[in-house]
């Protein structure tokens, strides 16, 4: 069968019609036969066992019984309410079947004294067993229908249930679909792959996913369909990367000149780690080719991404190009500007900062110098994207914490040049390998996986509120030896008033416990004016205050090497990645640093797991894996990426082994036959073209 039948509008399927068709479109996005085939069940009910009435128990379990209806009556209860009750008997006893809705229709369809099979959740009241709204069919029909030992339960919505499109109805129309198409589905994967991976055919997989004859057959069907789904996503991502390298020409940075070599030989503030050297080499190889670089640089807090970014900028300057770095917030842009200016000092570079608060005169200078090419490096926020900001020849764009920038925003940077600049995306949010392969499958990935020498791992402890006196004593001892302390309160947008109150209450009690003139305290929160925030930050950074009480404003980009203790209040209200980011604010100097997680005594299981994970490891990737398991992929990347992966059957967390396998095979096939022209790849090519026609990859990836 060609797949044309699968393009038939859903209302033409027997048993659907225009009304149900409209409901299926609106509620489940099912427009045609092919969409219905891909409505995979959520779970399955074991239909192998038939109960006798005298075996029933009040367990609200789903049971299946063979018997017959002997009579039907309508019973009134409450004010003007009625229910329909049928007596159902078998050789061992009798029970009731009850309907509260659709009584007229049900009454007309019930057959008295004919052997039937009923199915539903059983409960008992006053010693009488009953099933409300059971599924019911004649035994003769039951024996001939395309039914399996395990009955599929499909995704549904309240509207569908209320409008009579029950699970049984979906089961019926699914059977009808298999009868009309005779299950002749085109194979999409090449034979050699099916044999090598011992995968069942597409036809068998679809039949067994909807009507499994055993749990083994179901497992094989699920594996085959999960592999296929992940395989085609990877095929698209890897092809996109190859096309980008092929089609999107980049500036070849052939020269490694005086800027790069001079800095490396004379001004490097510390010895690079093996990981930093490896990553710089990967970047040099990329930028030396004729293709545009698109690389994601992952490295934990404090792993030294900034120096890698700076040396990459020097390569651009050596080749006569300009470079820019874009950060999501002013605090972070400022931080980068200070850090990079220090590195650039000895090289006599022209480096400037552009943010929303830059003055008009400064902006004018920046625009002139950008256009005449004398400004070599520009650091900034979204302000870099404004139309007025024109570069003479932008060769490299570094983007920090890219998940905070949308796709359109990034493409604005590309358009500032006829040839798009090389792109280096940096993130301190460790992304688990599985997610990175799917979210950023079209980027090449570099990881800095070792910390600079001399950094001591941060000691993390979990303490309950009842231990506060001991914690305060520890803080006094640390201040006595000259250290500084962060105390952070949670900030959750919806309850800003409450959070503000928590913060102010906390500030007052800390002020009482750490009084002037012996101690000085800074405070930092979202309601302050930017100038006041900067002033407070500066006092703390210069060591004029001992304690910084703050909301999570300090999460990114604050660098105070002398601060060695991070106290996180109500730590159970933070997610794992936030806790890990906050912990990374300390441990920036050579002293031993500490992170103290304060929580109430009552903790959910998830919160306990989060505290144990934080105490147990400093490895951001390990933490990200746990976070992915707890929160799922959608939430991990924040709201902009919540469209992350609309997968129909695979699960990126549970099926990471299948994902890795799918990616390896996709790469192998594209290496040998990138255009998928070989005869054995015809089925695969057809699916691939169909997906690209729909721009389908963007349905998967925001």
In 3-state terms, what secondary structure has residue 465?
helix
Stronger pLDDT, 531 or 3, i.e. the higher one: 531
The residue with greater pLDDT, 324 or 695, is: 324
Mean pLDDT value of segment 585-601: 90
Lowest mean pLDDT among 17-21, 158-162, 204-208: 158-162
Please give the pLDDT value at position 438. Answer: 67
Q: Are residues 610 and 649 in the same domain?
A: no
The predicted structure's pLDDT at residue 143: 81
* Co-location of 361 and 408 in the same domain: yes
In DSSP terms, 448 is beta-bridged to 299
Identify whether residues 427 and 341 lie together within a single domain: yes
434-474 pLDDT, tens per residue? 677 666 666 788 888 887 777 788 999 999 999 999 999 99
Please answer whether residues 508 and 594 qualify as being in contact, where contact means their C-beta atoms are separated by less than 8 angstroms: no
398 closest CA partner among 326, 337, 299: 326
Q: What is the mean pLDDT of the chain?
A: 86
Instruction: Let me know whether 325 and 444 are in one domain.
Output: yes
**Is residue 267 domain-shared with residue 214, that is, in the same domain?**
no
Q: What is the pLDDT of residue 147?
A: 63
361 pLDDT more than 60 = yes
Q: Tell me, yes or no, whether 686 lies in a domain.
A: no
**Each residue's pLDDT tens digit, 66-87:** 999 999 999 988 888 899 999 9
Whether 423 and 476 map to the same domain: the answer is no
- Do 78 and 154 share a domain, yes or no? no
- Given a contact cutoff of 8 angstroms between Cβ atoms, the answer to whether 1 and 185 are in contact is yes
Q: Which residue has the higher pLDDT, 627 or 206?
A: 206
- Asked if 418 and 362 touch (Cβ cutoff 8 Å), the reply is no
Whether 444 and 492 map to the same domain: the answer is: no
Residue 500 lies in a domain: yes
User: Of 146, 173, 207, at which residue does a domain stop?
Assistant: 146
* Residue-number span of the structural domain to which 661 is assigned: 187-247+645-672+696-702
User: Which of 418, 448, 478 is the last residue before a domain boundary?
Assistant: 448
Instruction: Answer for the pair 398, 426: CB distance below 8 angstroms, yes or no.
Output: yes
**All residues at 6 or more sequence positions from 629 whose CB lies less than 8 Å from its CB, including other chains:** 653
Ranking 399-408, 591-600, 656-665 by mean pLDDT, the lowest is 399-408
* The pLDDT value given to residue 643: 36
pLDDT score recorded for residue 378: 97
> What is the share, in percent, of the chain residues with pLDDT greater than 90?
51
Range from 149-153, 383-387, 514-518, 698-702 that averages highest in pLDDT? 514-518
Alpha carbons 376 and 259: distance in angstroms, whole number: 12
Residues 167 and 300 in one domain: no
- 290/115: higher pLDDT: 115
**Residue 490 phi/psi, 5° resolution?**
-70, 155
**pLDDT band (50, 70, 90) for residue 126:** confident
Instruction: Output the pLDDT for position 641.
Output: 37
* Distance between CA atoms of residues 86 and 75, nearest Å: 10
682 is a domain residue: no
CATH assignment of the domain containing 439: 3.40.50.300
Domain count across the chain:
5
**Residue 132, strand partner residues:** 98
Q: Do the domain assignments include residue 162? A: yes
Are 97 and 153 in the same domain? no
Can you name the residues that pair with 118 across neighbouring β-strands?
Answer: 65, 136
What average pLDDT does this structure show over 573-592?
86
Taking residues 400-416, report their average pLDDT: 67
Inside any domain, residue 684: no
Residues 307 and 385 in one domain: yes
Q: What is the number of residues in the chain?
A: 702
Model confidence at 58, pLDDT cuts 50, 70, 90, reads confident
Predicted confidence band of residue 6 (pLDDT cuts 50, 70, 90): confident
Instruction: Provide the pLDDT for residue 637.
Output: 41
Min mean pLDDT across 69-83, 123-137, 520-534 is at 520-534
Same-domain check for residues 178 and 302:
no
Give per-residue pLDDT as tens, 169-194. Answer: 999 999 999 988 887 788 999 999 99
């Amino acid at each position: 069968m060609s797949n044309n039948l699968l393009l038939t509008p859903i209302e033409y399927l027997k048993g659907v019609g225009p009304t149900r068709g409209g409901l299926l479109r609106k509620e489940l996005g099912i427009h045609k036969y092919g969409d219905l085939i891909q409505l995979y069940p959520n779970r399955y009910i074991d239909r192998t066992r038939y109960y006798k009435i005298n075996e029933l128990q009040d367990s609200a379990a789903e049971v299946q019984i063979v018997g017959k209806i002997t009579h039907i009556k309508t019973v009134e209860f409450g004010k003007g309410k009625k229910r329909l009750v049928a007596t159902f008997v078998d050789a061992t006893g009798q029970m009731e079947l009850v309907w509260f809705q659709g009584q007229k229709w049900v009454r007309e369809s019930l057959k008295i004294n004919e052997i039937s099979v009923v199915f539903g959740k059983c409960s008992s009241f006053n010693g009488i067993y009953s099933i409300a709204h059971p599924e019911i069919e004649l035994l003769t029909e039951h024996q001939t229908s395309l039914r399996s030992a395990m009955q599929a339960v499909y995704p549904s919505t309240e509207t569908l249930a209320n409008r009579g499109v029950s699970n049984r109805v979906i089961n019926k129309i699914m059977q009808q679909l298999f009868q009309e198409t005779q299950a002749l589905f085109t194979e999409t994967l090449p034979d050699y792959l099916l044999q090598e991976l011992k995968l069942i055919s597409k036809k068998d997989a679809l039949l067994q996913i909807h009507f499994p004859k055993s749990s083994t057959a179901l497992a094989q069907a699920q594996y085959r369909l999960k592999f296929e789904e992940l395989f085609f996503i990877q095929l698209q991502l890897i092809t996109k990367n190859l096309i980008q390298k092929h089609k999107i020409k980049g500036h070849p940075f052939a020269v490694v000149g005086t800027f790069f070599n001079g800095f490396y030989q004379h001004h490097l503030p510390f010895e690079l780690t093996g990981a930093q050297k490896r990553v710089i080499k990967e970047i040099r190889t990329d930028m030396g080719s004729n293709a545009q670089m698109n690389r994601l640089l992952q490295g934990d807090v404090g792993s030294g991404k900034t120096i890698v970014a700076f040396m990459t900028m020097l390569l651009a300057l050596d080749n006569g190009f300009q470079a820019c770095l874009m950060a999501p917030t002013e605090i972070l842009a400022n931080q980068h500007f200070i850090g990079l200016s220090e590195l650039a000092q000895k090289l006599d570079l022209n480096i400037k900062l552009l943010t929303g608060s830059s003055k008009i005169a400064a902006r004018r200078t920046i625009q002139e110098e950008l256009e005449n090419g004398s400004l070599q490096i520009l650091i900034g926020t979204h302000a870099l994207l404004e139309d007025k900001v024109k570069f003479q020849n932008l060769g490299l764009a570094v983007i920090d914490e890219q998940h905070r920038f949308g796709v359109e925003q990034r493409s604005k940077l590309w358009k500032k040049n006829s040839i798009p600049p090389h792109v280096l995306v940096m993130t301190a949010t460790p992304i688990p390998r599985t997610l990175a392969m799917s979210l950023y499958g079209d980027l090449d990935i570099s990881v800095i996986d070792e910390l600079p020498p001399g950094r001591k791992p941060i000691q993390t402890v979990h303490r309950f509120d009842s231990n506060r006196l001991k914690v305060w004593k520890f803080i006094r001892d640390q201040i006595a030896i000259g250290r500084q302390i962060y105390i952070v309160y949670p900030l959750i947008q919806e309850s800003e008033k409450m959070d503000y109150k928590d913060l102010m209450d906390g500030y007052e009690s800390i002020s009482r416990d750490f009084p002037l003139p012996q101690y000085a305290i800074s405070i930092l929160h979202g309601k302050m004016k930017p100038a006041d925030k900067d002033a407070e930050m500066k006092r703390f950074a210069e060591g004029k205050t001992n304690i910084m009480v703050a909301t999570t404003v300090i999460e990114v980009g604050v660098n105070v090497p002398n601060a060695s203790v991070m106290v996180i209040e109500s730590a159970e209200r933070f997610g794992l990645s936030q806790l890990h980011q906050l912990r990374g604010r300390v441990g920036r100097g050579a002293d031993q640093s500490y992170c103290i997680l304060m929580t109430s005594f009552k903790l959910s299981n998830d919160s306990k797991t989060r505290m144990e994970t934080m105490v147990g490891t400093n490895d951001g990737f390990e933490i990200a894996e746990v976070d992915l398991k707890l929160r799922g992929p959608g939430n991990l990347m924040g709201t902009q990426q919540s469209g992350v992966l609309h997968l129909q059957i695979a699960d990126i967390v549970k099926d990471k082994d299948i994902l890795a396998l799918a990616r390896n095979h996709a790469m192998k096939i594209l290496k040998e036959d990138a255009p998928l022209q070989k005869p054995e790849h015809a089925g695969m090519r057809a699916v691939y073209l169909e997906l690209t026609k729909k721009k389908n990859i963007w349905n998967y990836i925001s």
